[in-house]
Structure 1
Amino acid sequence: MTNYTRRHFLRGTAATAALLPFASACAPVRALRATSLPSGDMDGVRMAQLISNGDVSSLEFTEAAIARAERVNPQINAIASKTYDMARVRAAESPAGTFGGVPTFIKDLMNWKNAPSFYGSRAFKDYVAEEDGVFATRWREMGVVSLGKSTTPEIGLISSTEPLVTGPTRNPWDLSRIPGGSSGGAAALTASRVTPFAHASDGGGSIRIPAACCGLFGLKPSRGALAGPQLDQPVELSVNHAVTLTVRDSAALFAAAEDPREGLTPTGRITGPASRRLKIAFAPEPTNGASLDSETRAGIERTADLCRSLGHEVVDWTVPMDGKAFQDEFLLLWAAGAAEFMQQAMAYSPGKAPEEILEPWTLGLAQDFMAKKDRFESAIAYLQAFEGEYHSWFDDFDVLLTPTVSTLPPAIGTQSPTGDFDETMKRVTDFVAFTAPMNVSGAASMSVPLQWTSGGIPVGSLFSGRRGDDGLLLALAYELEAAQPWIDRKPGILG
Structure 2
Amino acid sequence: MTHAFTDDALGRDDAVGLALRVRRRDVSAGELASAALSRIEKMAELDALVGPPLATPVVGDQAGPFAGVPTVIKDNSDVRGLPTGQGSEIIRARPADRHGPVAREMLSMGFGVVAKTTLPEFGLSASTEFPTRPPTRNPWNTEYSTGASSGGSAALVAAGAVPLAHGNDGGGSIRIPAACTGLVGLKPSRGRFVLPALEKLLPVAIVSEGVLTRSVRDTAAFWAAADHASARRLRPIGTVTGPSARRLRVGVIRQSPAGGPTDVETLAALDDTAALLARLGHTVDEMTTVPIDQRFPEDFVEYWSFLAYVLQKTTPRLEGRTERDFDTLTVGLADRFRRTRYRLPSVVRRLRRASADYASMFASVDLVLSPVLGHTTPRLGHLSPHVPFDEYLERLTSYAAFTPLHNVAGAPAMSLPLGRSSAGLPVGVMFSGVQGDERTLLEVAFEVEDAAPWRSLAD
Q: TM-score range by the shorter chain?
A: over 0.9
Pairing of 1:270-289 with structure 2 (within 5 A):
270-289=240-259
Q: How far 1:410 moved relative to its partner?
A: 0.6
Which residue of 168, 181, 184 corresponds with 1:217? 184
Q: How far 1:289 moved relative to its partner?
A: 3.0
Q: How far 1:61 moved relative to its partner?
A: 1.1
The residue number in structure 1 matching 2:427 is 459
CA contact (8 A) 2:252 2:285 kept: yes
- Aligned to 1:104, the other structure's residue is in SS state strand
The residue number in structure 2 matching 1:373 is 341
CA 1:189/1:280 → structure 2, altered by over 3 Å: closer, same or farther? Answer: same
Pairing of 1:1-40 with structure 2 (within 5 A):
36-37=7-8, 40=11
Q: How far 1:322 moved relative to its partner?
A: 6.0
The amino acid that maps onto 1:43 is D
Q: How far 1:287 moved relative to its partner?
A: 3.0
CA contact (8 A) 1:251 1:270 kept: yes
Q: How far 1:348 moved relative to its partner?
A: 4.5
CA 1:416/1:39 → structure 2, altered by over 3 Å: closer, same or farther? Answer: farther
Bigger share in helix: 1
CA contact (8 A) 2:373 2:402 kept: yes
Task: State the superposition RMSD in angstroms.
Answer: 1.9
The amino acid that maps onto 1:216 is L
Which residue of 261, 264, 273 corresponds with 1:294? 264
CA 1:115/1:86 → structure 2, altered by over 3 Å: closer, same or farther? Answer: farther
Q: Deviations for 1:310-333, whole angstroms, at most 9, x for unmatched residues?
A: 111000112425676211101111
Q: How far 1:153 moved relative to its partner?
A: 0.4
Q: TM-score, normalised by structure 1?
A: 0.87
Unaligned runs of 5+ in 1: 1-33
Q: Does residue 284 of structure 2 align to residue 314 of structure 1? A: yes
The residue number in structure 2 matching 1:264 is 234
Q: TM-score, normalised by structure 2?
A: 0.94
Q: d(CA) in 1 for partners of 2:210 and 2:443?
A: 17
Which residue of 132, 136, 143 corresponds with 1:169? 136
The residue number in structure 2 matching 1:419 is 387
Unaligned runs of 5+ in 2: none
Q: d(CA) in 1 for partners of 2:254 and 2:173?
A: 20
Which residue of 383, 387, 403 corresponds with 2:355? 387
Q: Percent same amino acid at aligned positions?
A: 38
Which residue of 219, 225, 239 corresponds with 1:250? 219
Pairing of 1:308-457 with structure 2 (within 5 A):
308-321=278-291, 325-345=295-315, 347-349=316-318, 351-356=320-325, 358-457=326-425
CA 1:155/1:39 → structure 2, altered by over 3 Å: closer, same or farther? Answer: same
The residue number in structure 1 matching 2:206 is 237
Q: Does residue 23 of structure 2 align to residue 52 of structure 1? A: yes
Moved more, 360-369 or 316-325: 316-325
Q: How far 1:350 moved relative to its partner?
A: 5.6
Which residue of 162, 165, 189 corresponds with 2:156? 189
The amino acid that maps onto 1:60 is E
Q: d(CA) in 2 for partners of 1:420 and 1:174?
A: 26
Q: Does residue 34 of structure 2 align to residue 63 of structure 1? A: yes
Moved more, 165-174 or 420-429: 165-174
- Aligned to 1:36, the other structure's residue is in SS state coil
Q: How far 1:303 moved relative to its partner?
A: 0.6
CA contact (8 A) 1:187 1:214 kept: yes
